Structure 1
Amino acid sequence: MDREEQPPREPERQREPEAQREPEAQREPERPRESWAQREPEAKREPERPRESWAQRESWAQRETPPHGDELAPLTATAASPGAHESRLVDEAIEREGFGARAPAARPGAPLGAGAEAQPPAAGSRAAGGSLGALGALGSVGAAPAQPTSVTELLRFRDRLERTARELTNDYNELLGRLGEPAAGAPPTGATISFARGAPSLDIIDVQGLRDAAARAFEADPGGTTAYGTSVGYPRLRAWIADRHGVEVERVLVTNGSMQADAFLFEHLVGAGEDVIVERPTYDRTLLSLRQRGARVHAIELEPDGIDTSALSRLLGDWRARPKLAHIIPNFQNPAGYTLSLAKRHALLDLAAAHSFMIFEDDPYVALRFRGESLPTMLSMDPQRVIYASSFSKTVCPGVRVGYLVGPPGVISAVAELATNTYISPSMVAQSIVYEFCASGAIERSIETVRRALDERSTALASALRRELPEAEFVPPDGGYFMWVTLPAGTDVHALHHAASELGVSFVVGTDFMLEGGENALRLAYAGVTPKQINEGVMRLAAAYRSIC
């Protein structure tokens, strides 16, 4: 064949040193390149987990340990850079006999000659797709470029590896930072929103008015304010309460909170094995106190207009109960928020007269009506058959711990003796401050502030429940602190309570207010939360409900 007809020769490649060559039979066939995401061995890959609902997810940044216990911590460029092993391999190759003579030493990062591989983007660059571009330019992680032929190429490769490590470190730390941000649709983070406590929020408490009342108390009556006093309470406050209810002062006893009044009355009137009527549901502490005394508690169903007086009449007519006392919360009942109608007030008083039992009218929320007309107290309708209790915790502030009883003189005298033997006297400091607060007219302004706030919050709660949790059944109250919510039959309120707490919202389960039942009910207290918190809290509650259904 003539020279012109011969095919062009490939340029001769530089011979590899003997030590670098291996027989053709021993060489592995060249495999197609995988993306970096495919290089993890199949055996080591974790099986794909089923997706969680957003209500079940929790930000990794808030967990004590990330999934599977792996520690997620920011990397440093040094930690991600080629280690001692890789650097030593490069140094050994450079020192091999005759290897360094093929090319002059190159400064790391110097421009490559013709035909050399392109450099990856600089650290932080997104021109080549961030870390994916860097890995593609680098080739298989940890592998040297195909058959390096000079110290220059080895040094350049090491420089590229170090710069790529820095870029990947930046990408890793950026992704790690994003784990602390809530994902789209994830449950909100922040402090727990509590629908559990029946107490007003600080923004509706007249702190300045209380400060002024305290100053007046110590100025006007330092002796009475700082003294022990007697078990019936601070005389000026006792007289103010008597005037408020239109009764003689001998019918009033002021206590350390209304729960203390309850305890004294139960101790005086209820013995072990004696029958007591309560509403179903009713205040959990009342149930606890009565059961601790060994009383036989009969719970009568509560309807939106109060206790079912027909059911009570049947119980009494069959002589299945001979009660000494019926405990009734007539206005904006705790936990239901229901109000005893005027007709039922009359019916209850008639039953009490016919069956010779006393009515304990427990009425701490009476002043907090924000809708509708006020009803007369049963005390005003039958002062001999009714013992009345109320509290300043709801209208002034919970921290004062001042409550009172109004009742027949004989009952008040017996309770005063119990109080003397228990604590000599209640707090004169707290009671004198409350007196000054009331006598100055500040209590009326405080009640109006609280009413407006409760009206707004109750409306916000009802609207949020209709919007976010249409399965819920409830009766919007006309006053007070509470709303009773019933969910579809079969709902596990304890599972809901746990799921809700995981999402940062709390409430009281319905079973706490009943001797039996209430598994699909809950009490929501709205006095201590703003409308914004109410909307957020109900969204979390609805998400918790969806997660258990």
Structure 2
Amino acid sequence: MATSSWPRSRQRGSAACGGDAPRSTSSLPTTSCTAQCDGASASCRSATSAFRSSPPSISWSAKRSSTVPRTGSTSSRCWCASKCSIATRSAGGSSASPVTTTLARSASTASSTTSPTTDLARPRKLEPVSDPTPISFARGAPSLDIVDVAGLREAADRALADDPAGALSYGTAWGYQPLREWIADRHQVAPEQVIVTNGSMQADAFLFDVAVSAGDGVIVERPTYDRTLLSLRERGAVLYPVGLEDDGIDIVELERELQDRITPKLAHIIPNFHNPAGCTLSMPKRQRLIELAREYEFLLFEDDPYHAIRFSGEPLPRMLELSGGDGVVYASSFSKTVCPGVRVGYLVGSQAIIEQVRKAAVSAYISPSMIAQSIVYQFAAAGALDRSIETVRSALRERASTLGAALRREIPQARFVAPEGGYFLWIELPAGTDVAAAFEAAKERKLAFVKGTDFMLDGGENTLRIAYSGVTPDQIEEGVSRLAESLAAVAG
């Protein structure tokens, strides 16, 4: 990609915010400060000569203030938000005692302890911050501030008080029976059609064990969840990737493949707020998939851990419901709505398939975690789950909106579909963009994301996935700024 295609403000090598700092021709004293922002510290140094000539090449891990020192003022302000400790240098070069202060009070503190004459005579070289606060767009998990810790503590107390034998003993491979019945009621099926597992990935693995043999064809979306690709490959499946559109799997491509060359045993579909693509399968495509599964006699696996996390638009019925339960196995999880640490997922399907899955589970363990499942049951039965879902929705709505606005402002070349729910946003950059190189440049700036190639069998070199679930709006703003700089650094 030509360097000129990127905004000029981003063409500055390794600087993490460079020209974003205020520019001034004023006489500024030299200060050093330690700014505490979002639980991490960063140091910054300012010098008169740097501000006179050009924007400083400096990494700012904290949010910048818009306050610019007045011309001729003997005071200095650090462009870091929150609190900082000011240690100014006197005429003899010694440091005064640090004073903890807010930005609003830093000017008066500096002016009373600094000799501007000496500072102007000996301007110091601007030094970049070497250790910015890490920001991760990689892991699809909720941040702790949107997890109902108090509600989980109360649920654990009730689980141990109401059913200590059930919570603390071995159970059966079916899972904790009260939770199994609660899930069955939620989906309007018989409990015999439900099995509860240690997370939805284990549910997936059990289903693949009974439904897929070496050499069997499996339809997967392109891109799709990387762990699914790994799990199917380990079982010797022949994978048939079919492209995704803004409203889900490309049905025209799928029909052409079914007619011309493939005989799949199973199709793996993520219908809502896709991981990694963020898109949602449209209603017509849901109906057509069910028809194709019946016509070509393959099992439709509806992998749906994000269904409840819709924060805009209207909910769509599950394919499990649309099909009447015929030819569809449904998987979901409490990791995204309660917390990842509980490791509780489940499958819903026909009694025959679920019984086969139970037999696979028996070969793996005596039972899944009864105490984890009993806590989830108490959490759900008390209504805390619905309240938790609303908390997660509200937080992620704001984070997704912040991310979209930041991308449009900082990386206008990026193409993405604004998610209506879930944890992820998929970015497609102009052809020729080297995301792998940008990934390395981002690591230097303490930014993590996942390359699009991780979710495909081939291609995707100009794509990446951002998880916005575990970062605050301020971290999103800063993270997108670092991403833009990383892309600009490798663009030429």
Q: Going by fraction, where is strand more abundant, 1 or 2?
A: 2
Equivalent of 2:238 in 285, 296, 303 = 296
The equivalent residue for 2:306 is 365
Alignment size in residue pairs: 385
The equivalent residue for 2:343 is 401
* Matching of residues 118-157 of structure 1 within 5 Å: 125=91
Letter aligned with residue 173 of structure 2: S
Equivalent of 1:446 in 383, 388, 391 = 388
Distance 1:453 1:125, change over 3 A: closer
Query: How far apart, in 1, do the equivalents of 2:450 and 2:187 lie?
Result: 33
8 A contact 2:319–2:328 mirrored in 1? yes
The equivalent residue for 1:282 is 224
| Deviation sequence 1:218-264 (CA, Å, 0-9, x none) | 00000000011000100000000000000000000000000000000
| Deviation sequence 1:114-135 (CA, Å, 0-9, x none) | xxxxxxxxx9748xxx9xxxxx
Give the Å deviation of 1:179. 6.0
Question: Secondary structure, in 3 states, of the residue corresponding to 1:233?
Answer: coil
The percent identity for this pair of structures is: 61
Distance 1:125 1:249, change over 3 A: closer
Distance 1:544 1:424, change over 3 A: same
Give the Å deviation of 1:283. 0.3
* Matching of residues 508-547 of structure 1 within 5 Å: 508-547=450-489
* Matching of residues 338-353 of structure 1 within 5 Å: 338-353=279-294
Structure 2 residues without counterparts, runs of 5 or longer? 1-9, 18-31, 33-88, 94-117
The equivalent residue for 2:360 is 418
The equivalent residue for 1:312 is 254
| Deviation sequence 1:278-308 (CA, Å, 0-9, x none) | 1100000000111111111000000111101
Alignment of 1:56 onto 2:19: no
| Deviation sequence 1:369-413 (CA, Å, 0-9, x none) | 000110000000110210000000000000000000000111111
* Matching of residues 60-71 of structure 1 within 5 Å: none
| Deviation sequence 1:94-121 (CA, Å, 0-9, x none) | xxxxxxxxxxxxxxxxxxxxxxxxxxxx
Distance 1:488 1:219, change over 3 A: same
TM-score between the two structures when normalised by the length of structure 2: 0.76
Equivalent of 2:415 in 460, 468, 473 = 473
Alignment of 1:461 onto 2:419: no
Query: How far apart, in 2, do the equivalents of 1:506 and 1:271 lie?
Result: 36
Alignment of 1:323 onto 2:264: yes
Question: Secondary structure, in 3 states, of the residue corresponding to 1:327?
Answer: strand
The equivalent residue for 2:196 is 254
Question: Secondary structure, in 3 states, of the residue corresponding to 1:196?
Answer: coil
Distance 1:189 1:283, change over 3 A: same
- Segment of structure 1 superposing worse, 455-464 or 416-425: 416-425
Query: How far apart, in 2, do the equivalents of 1:410 and 1:304 lie?
Result: 35
Query: How far apart, in 1, do the equivalents of 2:184 and 2:472 lie?
Result: 35
8 A contact 1:251–1:412 mirrored in 2? yes
| Deviation sequence 1:475-513 (CA, Å, 0-9, x none) | 101000000001110011110100011111110000000
* Matching of residues 187-198 of structure 1 within 5 Å: 189-198=131-140
The equivalent residue for 1:15 is none
The equivalent residue for 1:484 is 426
Rg bigger for which structure?
1
Relative contact order (C-alpha < 8 Å, sep 6+): which is higher?
2
Query: How far apart, in 2, do the equivalents of 1:420 and 1:519 lie?
Result: 41
The equivalent residue for 2:322 is 381
Give the Å deviation of 1:57. 5.1
Distance 1:297 1:181, change over 3 A: closer
Letter aligned with residue 294 of structure 2: A
8 A contact 2:132–2:445 mirrored in 1? no
Letter aligned with residue 527 of structure 1: S
8 A contact 2:426–2:465 mirrored in 1? yes
Equivalent of 1:244 in 179, 186, 206 = 186
Distance 1:124 1:459, change over 3 A: closer
Question: Secondary structure, in 3 states, of the residue corresponding to 2:316?
Answer: coil
TM-score between the two structures when normalised by the length of structure 1: 0.68
Considering only aligned residues, what root-mean-square deviation do their CA atoms show, in Å? 2.1
8 A contact 1:55–1:503 mirrored in 2? no
The equivalent residue for 2:297 is 356
8 A contact 2:14–2:485 mirrored in 1? no
Question: Secondary structure, in 3 states, of the residue corresponding to 1:272?
Answer: coil
Letter aligned with residue 360 of structure 2: L
Question: Secondary structure, in 3 states, of the residue corresponding to 1:376?
Answer: coil
Letter aligned with residue 336 of structure 2: K
8 A contact 1:252–1:412 mirrored in 2? yes
Give the Å deviation of 1:55. 3.6
